[in-house]
Structure 1
Amino acid sequence: MSSEQRVEAVEKALSILDAFSEERSSFSLTELAAETGISKSSLPRLLNSLILFGFVTRDSDRRYALGANVWRLGALFRRRFDLGEKIRPELRRLVDLTGETASFYVRKQEERICLYRQNSPNPVRHHLDEGSRLSIDRGAAGHALSARDDAPTVFVSLGERNPDVAAVAVRITAPDGDLRGALCVSGILSRFGEDARGQAGRLLLEARDRLRLTD
């Protein structure tokens, strides 16, 4: 996309929202400037606009956090897919049986979005946040989401996006064949070896069949 088709102020405001995560749920002005690369002189006006529309809040200690309007839009986005009650039990089952992180992705143009996830209980793990946006052209889930209907049933990636991470994924489709998303198990490459990936692939196919039967 060319620079003429983009608005710099909007991109800066969105980069503020994008800075928040499970690990960093609030920021001071100085911390936010360091995280986003936006100058401290420019941040207050951007933040005031985000506060006005309910996307950011500011507490008595002058720390900034996400506002309720972010939750509202996230709920609307998830409602389009209406899969949470079916997907989450499968994610928990995959984590229990593999010990690795399980996630569910949907495609949004040339990105994949982690709609649901269950992180591994292992202290050393592939950690994902719900809402994370990743490239569609790398990783097992990305290959699953961009594949043709006659592509392999199980997709594997080894160190494509992160040299220390391996992943296995399957496509999840509706009864009419419409693609709903990709179910994925990912783990640290040194631990998530060929045998473990094979087991994860079999478990993913079983989960896919259960989801297809209950769609």
Structure 2
Amino acid sequence: MSEGPSVVGRSAALLRELSRHTADGATTTTAARGAGVPRATAHRLLEALAVEGLVDRDARTGHWFLGPEIYVLGRAATARYDVTEEARSSVLRLARETGESAFFSVRRADEVVVLLREDGDFPIRSYVLYEGARFPLGTVSAGIAVLAHLPDAEVDAYLARADLVGRWGREFSDDAVRGRLAATREDGWSLNPGLIVEGSWGMAAAVFTASGTPEYALTITGIEPRFRRERQAALGRLLLEETHRLTRSMR
């Protein structure tokens, strides 16, 4: 019985890793490394998942992709979990009113996942975020906004287990992250000043469930000159207006 959760957990980690490689797929080695699974174990589990249709392997490249059964299961779960229709109008308004790219993301465990994207009319865009992109809490602006509104004990536990510096660099030391969380709590919205890709800035605000949990976020991203200090306050107000509206709608 003790092997069950381990197998399920490792399989789930592999599926999540493949969701990060929707365009070109992932090799067995890449999937194993990203999921934190030994390569031989990853290969065995991926082969088993392929039999069930949960993953698919390209015969030419050998790369792994999410399989057709994932699509079927996702469609079946839509009625219970799909909140994108509620959020779509907010994302559209943000894109239209700011001219930037706007996003709606959801928290999943220690990550935020982008569900919606809408581009504004400003011709130069940032492509760090895209639908399906996953980032750890505390990195992109959506993850900063969500983490900032979690209880201090949860923040402490997360930072203790997340190796943000090892993966993302010294800008994500505990002190640096905590400083951004404090600023977010004060302002209501988060700021990512080109931390992931130089020159690509983002701002976000959390959307709360009926129980007061920061489960979602609205984000706007663009190039650095569009996020000068004198414009941040106006962008922040728009974000907070939409997140308040969306929080009320979801409740």
Given the two structures, how large is their TM-score scaled by the length of structure 1?
Answer: 0.70
Aligned pairs for 1:136-175 within 5 A: 136-148=137-149, 151-152=185-186, 153-175=188-210
Q: Tell me how large the CA RMSD over aligned residues is.
A: 3.8
The verdict on how the C-alpha distance between 1:146 and 1:81 changes in structure 2, with shifts beyond 3 A counting, is farther
Partner of 1:129: helix, strand, or coil? Answer: coil
CA distance in 2, matches of 1:160, 1:36: 25
Partner of 1:137: helix, strand, or coil? Answer: coil
Q: How much does 1:145 deviate?
A: 0.6
Q: How much does 1:172 deviate?
A: 1.0
Stretches of structure 1 that go unaligned for 5 or more consecutive residues are: none
Aligned pairs for 1:62-211 within 5 A: 66-75=66-75, 81-120=81-120, 122-148=123-149, 151-152=185-186, 153-211=188-246
Which is further off, 73-82 or 133-142?
Answer: 73-82
Cα-to-partner distance string for 1:5-33 (whole Å, 9 max, x where unaligned): 977x8589548724532x44x79xxxx57
Q: How much does 1:213 deviate?
A: 3.3
Cα-to-partner distance string for 1:93-150 (whole Å, 9 max, x where unaligned): 2112222221122222322222333245635423422222101122322221112379
Higher relative contact order (CA 8 A, sep 6+): 2
Identity of aligned residues (%): 28
CA contact (8 A) 2:137 2:144 kept: yes
Residues 1:53 and 2:52 are matched in the alignment: yes
Stretches of structure 2 that go unaligned for 5 or more consecutive residues are: 34-39, 151-183
CA contact (8 A) 2:202 2:222 kept: yes
Partner of 1:214: helix, strand, or coil? Answer: helix
Which is further off, 104-113 or 84-93?
Answer: 104-113
CA contact (8 A) 1:15 1:36 kept: no
CA contact (8 A) 2:146 2:206 kept: yes
CA distance in 1, matches of 2:20, 2:213: 33
CA distance in 1, matches of 2:78, 2:145: 20
CA distance in 2, matches of 1:206, 1:15: 32
CA distance in 2, matches of 1:175, 1:10: 32
CA distance in 1, matches of 2:16, 2:144: 27
CA contact (8 A) 1:50 1:56 kept: yes
Partner of 2:107: helix, strand, or coil? Answer: strand
User: Aligned pairs, how many?
Assistant: 203
| Letter aligned with residue 148 of structure 1 | H
Q: How much does 1:91 deviate?
A: 0.8
Cα-to-partner distance string for 1:44-74 (whole Å, 9 max, x where unaligned): 8766534321123468978875422222344
CA contact (8 A) 1:78 1:115 kept: no
